[in-house]
Amino acid sequence: MVKNSNLAKLQPKKTADLRVAQKPDIKTTKYSDINLKKWRDYAHILTGTLWQFPSRLKQHGHSNEYHGNYIPQIAQQMYERYTKKNDVVLDLFFGSGTSGIEAINMNRRCIGVELKDELAEKVSEKFAPKQLVTDVNIICADSTSQLAVDKVKARLEIMGEEKAQFLMLHPPYDDIIKFSDKKEDLSNCATTEEFYDMFEKVAKNGYDLLEKGRFACLIIGDSYKNSEVQPLGFECMNRMRKLGFVLKSTIVKDIQGNERGKGRTANLWRYRALAGGFSIFTHEYIFVFQKV
Ligand SMILES: C[S@@+](CC[C@H](N)C(=O)[O-])C[C@H]1O[C@@H](n2cnc3c(N)ncnc32)[C@H](O)[C@@H]1O
The answer to whether residue 160 scores a pLDDT higher than 50 is yes
Helix (H) or strand (E) holding 214: strand 210-220
Residues 6+ apart with CB under 8 A from 247: 237, 240, 241, 287, 288, 289
What integer is the mean pLDDT of 185-203? 98
Q: CATH number of the domain that 105 lies in? A: 3.40.50.150
Tell whether 284 is covered by a domain.
Answer: yes
Strand-pairing partners, residue 110, are 89, 136
Tell whether 9 is covered by a domain.
Answer: no
The answer to whether residue 65 scores a pLDDT higher than 80 is no
CA of 135 to the centre of ligand 1 (A): 20
CA of 186 to the centre of ligand 1 (A): 8
CA of 190 to the centre of ligand 1 (A): 17
Tell whether 16 is covered by a domain.
Answer: no
Lowest mean pLDDT among 65-74, 153-162, 221-230, 261-270: 261-270
Q: Whole domain around residue 192: which residue ranges?
A: 49-54+66-290
Q: Kindly give the number of the ligand 1 atom that is closest to the alpha carbon of 168.
A: 6
Q: Ligand 1 pocket test: pick from 56, 71, 114 the residue with the most ligand atoms within 8 Å of its Cβ.
A: 114
Looking at residue 54, its pLDDT comes to: 86
Looking at residue 229, its pLDDT comes to: 96
Tell whether 227 is covered by a domain.
Answer: yes
Tell whether 187 is covered by a domain.
Answer: yes
Helix (H) or strand (E) holding 113: strand 109-114
The answer to whether residue 66 scores a pLDDT higher than 90 is no
Give the separation between CA 90 and CA 280, rounded to whole angstroms: 32
Ligand 1: residues within 6 Å at CB? 66, 68-70, 93, 95-96, 98, 113-116, 142-144, 170-172, 179-180, 184-187
130-153 pLDDT per residue, tens? 899 889 999 999 999 999 999 999
Average pLDDT value over all residues in the chain: 91
What's this model's pTM, rounded to 2 decimal places?
0.90
CA of 22 to the centre of ligand 1 (A): 49
Q: How many domains does the chain have?
A: 1
Looking at residue 4, its pLDDT comes to: 43
Q: Ligand 1 pocket test: pick from 73, 98, 115 the residue with the most ligand atoms within 8 Å of its Cβ.
A: 115
* Amino acid of residue 141: A
Q: Do residues 79 and 89 touch, judged by C-beta distance below 8 A? A: yes
Tell whether 185 is covered by a domain.
Answer: yes
Tell whether 122 is covered by a domain.
Answer: yes
Q: Kindly give the number of the ligand 1 atom that is closest to the alpha carbon of 70.
A: 8
Tell whether 60 is covered by a domain.
Answer: no
